[in-house]
Amino acid sequence: MSYQERKGILRFPKATFERLKLYHAFLSQIHAEGKIYVLSEDIAEMLRITPEQVRKDFSFLETKGKPKVGYVIKELLDELDELFGTGVDENIIIIGAGHLGSALVNYKGFKNIGVRVAAIFDNDPRKIGTMVGDLMVLPLKDLSRVIRRFKVKIAAICVPESAAQQVADLLVGHGIKALWNFSTRILDVPPNIIVQNEDITRGLLGVKHMLAESEKSSSIDAMKVNEG
Amino acid sequence: MSYQERKGILRFPKATFERLKLYHAFLSQIHAEGKIYVLSEDIAEMLRITPEQVRKDFSFLETKGKPKVGYVIKELLDELDELFGTGVDENIIIIGAGHLGSALVNYKGFKNIGVRVAAIFDNDPRKIGTMVGDLMVLPLKDLSRVIRRFKVKIAAICVPESAAQQVADLLVGHGIKALWNFSTRILDVPPNIIVQNEDITRGLLGVKHMLAESEKSSSIDAMKVNEG
DNA sequence: TAGATTGTTAATCGATTAACAATC
DNA sequence: TAGATTGTTAATCGATTAACAATC
């Protein structure tokens, strides 16, 4: 029985799921460094959580550790890879060929999580036809064709805030299921559409706040914040 | 008594603080559209939470609403602006003049949250001296001078994963207090250093997972995920 | 074996939801 | 006034932490 099938039954607490993504990142890292085993203590230290939390989270997985030895990194990683479907490639499109859109096209990390950029779009005639990385910038009229051809379900919105809602409407109209929103705009879309807000200013607001706090009191814990 | 002073006493639950950032974004939006009042119901709908949650969160603020009228948008916004210190400018630096670093330099949203990019650095001789937006790419040897001169506390890490830890060590060595980490690397830094992980692949992992879930069951709620 | 580490259950803590009185 | 909406307290739910037995 695969994870896909089991998932309906075996559910993770939301908080656990968020941390599983971090474990995945850290485990990939130390696996690449050639490490074989890892202790809950090692993971906890890097992620600034407790070892108990790590073990509790892992108790939702099938991988088991050995007392005094820890967990086999590869085993955890394989289970998480299957859980996150990093092997199953998903085609995404990017709307907006500005700085951010271009950065995404050239982003190297997608292959690790089973994501591929199928196309990039813009409505500026001066950008259409130019190359961004390996891709030629397409006009929005090609949207429908590309979405159908590559079975695209996820679209990244990299347009100015003023155009974000309009673009979201257009994408939803063409059957896009999930919006990866890099604009600061809070999007208004039907409830069945997944929205992942990636507005980076929000992270910085938190940092500014923590800095202000730490300047007053020197005893600060839990200052490592992770997205997710 | 200002918020800065009060903050030590008046604490927000962490979950509330995260939502306050979203309220701030949404309120900015409708304020710009010229709206004067807002109901907890309106906010809840856009943010995919409940009106009760909104009112509960607002109960930690000083701004009060009026039954049947709602909240004065400007009043909420002013309080949140003060709370987040969006008026107090903070200088940040960017390490890595690749696609992402350049996108950040050109990012328009910083001014809304009181952040200014003071400089961008790279160690590639071919990039040093070139212009990125209004800034000239500086060599890392200028780091110390710039940090002191602009009282920089926050640094964005936009270098490849392989260089991220090294860059983090360098920055911490120069007195940087908060790392805004765009690499996929989980950084190992002293506990008094604030780390905000902005690795975007993590958001996409969640989206892929939700898509897989929604393909099995059609009754899905809580699918709008916000960074924080 | 003794000591270290895992895995799990129980206790605590924090966050959300429900209920409802107050008020416009 | 009646109805809608806020603000707050109490009840529920979920997540973290503590405790500790199992095991290598």
Name all domains of chain A by residue range, CATH numbers in brackets. Answer: 3-84 (1.10.10.10), 90-199 (3.40.50.720)
Do the Cβ atoms of B202 and A228 come within 8 Å?
Answer: yes
Q: Say if residue B225's pLDDT is above 60.
A: no
Q: Say if residue A222's pLDDT is above 50.
A: no
pLDDT per position as a tens digit, A73-127: 999 999 999 999 999 899 999 999 999 999 999 998 999 999 999 999 999 999 9
Q: In the predicted model, what is the mean pLDDT of chain A? A: 91
Helix (H, G, I), strand (E, B) or coil at A218: coil
Contact of A220 with B96, CB cutoff 8 Å: no
Those residues whose beta carbons lie under 7 A from strand D are: A 13-16, 49-50, 52-53, 56, 66-69; B 39-41, 51-52, 55-56, 58-59, 64-71
Instruction: For strand C, list residues 19-78 of chain B whose Cβ lies within 7 Å of it.
Output: 49-50, 52-53, 56, 66-69
Q: How far apart are CA B12 and CA B18, in angstroms?
A: 10
pLDDT per position as a tens digit, A170-179: 999 999 999 9
Q: How far is CA B148 from the centre of its chain?
A: 23
**pLDDT score of A19:** 98
Buried b (16+ CB within 10 A) or exposed e, B73-83: bebbbebbbeb
Cα dihedral A125, A134, B93, B192 sign: positive
Rg (CA), chain A: 20
Q: Mean pLDDT across the stretch B49-74?
A: 97
To the nearest whole percent, how much of chain B has pLDDT over 70?
90
pLDDT per position as a tens digit, B115-149: 999 999 999 999 999 999 999 999 999 999 999 99
**HSE of A210, CA atoms in CB hemisphere, 13 A:** 26
Q: Measuring CA to CA, how many Å separate A212 from each of A160, B83, B149, B157, B171?
A: 30, 10, 20, 21, 19
Which ranges in chain B belong to alpha helices (H)?
3-6, 14-32, 40-47, 51-58, 73-84, 99-105, 143-149, 161-173, 200-216
Q: How far apart are CA B108 and CA B86, in angstroms?
A: 14
pLDDT per position as a tens digit, B205-214: 999 999 988 8
Q: In the predicted model, what is the mean pLDDT of chain B? A: 91
Task: Read off the pLDDT band of A4 (50, 70, 90).
Answer: very low
Q: Is A146 exposed, middle or buried (0-12, 13-18, 19+ CB in 10 A)?
A: middle
Query: Token pair of B221, please?
Result: 């709620």
Q: What share of chain A is helix, strand, coil (3-state, %, to 5)?
A: 45, 20, 40
Helices (H) and strands (E) in chain B, counts: 9, 10
Q: Say if residue A15's pLDDT is above 80.
A: yes
Contact of A197 with A164, CB cutoff 8 Å: no
- Looking at the DSSP assignment, which residues form a beta bridge with residue B72? B37
Residue ranges of the binding site of B for NAD(+): 96-101
Dihedral (Cα; A153, A154, A160, A166), 10-degree rounding: 20
pLDDT per position as a tens digit, A29-80: 999 999 999 999 999 999 999 999 999 999 999 999 999 999 999 999 999 9
Residues of B in contact with A26 (CB under 8 A): 186
**pLDDT score of A217:** 59
pLDDT per position as a tens digit, B73-105: 999 999 999 999 999 899 999 999 999 999 999
pLDDT per position as a tens digit, B142-185: 999 999 999 999 999 999 999 999 999 999 999 999 999 999 99
**pLDDT score of B217:** 59
User: Closest nucleotide to residue A67 (Cα to C1')?
Assistant: C5
Q: Say if residue B218's pLDDT is above 70.
A: no
Helix (H, G, I), strand (E, B) or coil at A155: strand
**pLDDT score of A29:** 96
Residues 126-145 of A with CB under 8 A from B: none
Dihedral (Cα; A212, B194, A226, B58), 10-degree rounding: -10
**pLDDT score of B11:** 75
Query: Token pair of A180, please?
Result: 């990866």
Q: Say if residue A167's pLDDT is above 60.
A: yes
Q: Which residue is nearest to nucleotide C6 (CA to C1')?
A: A67
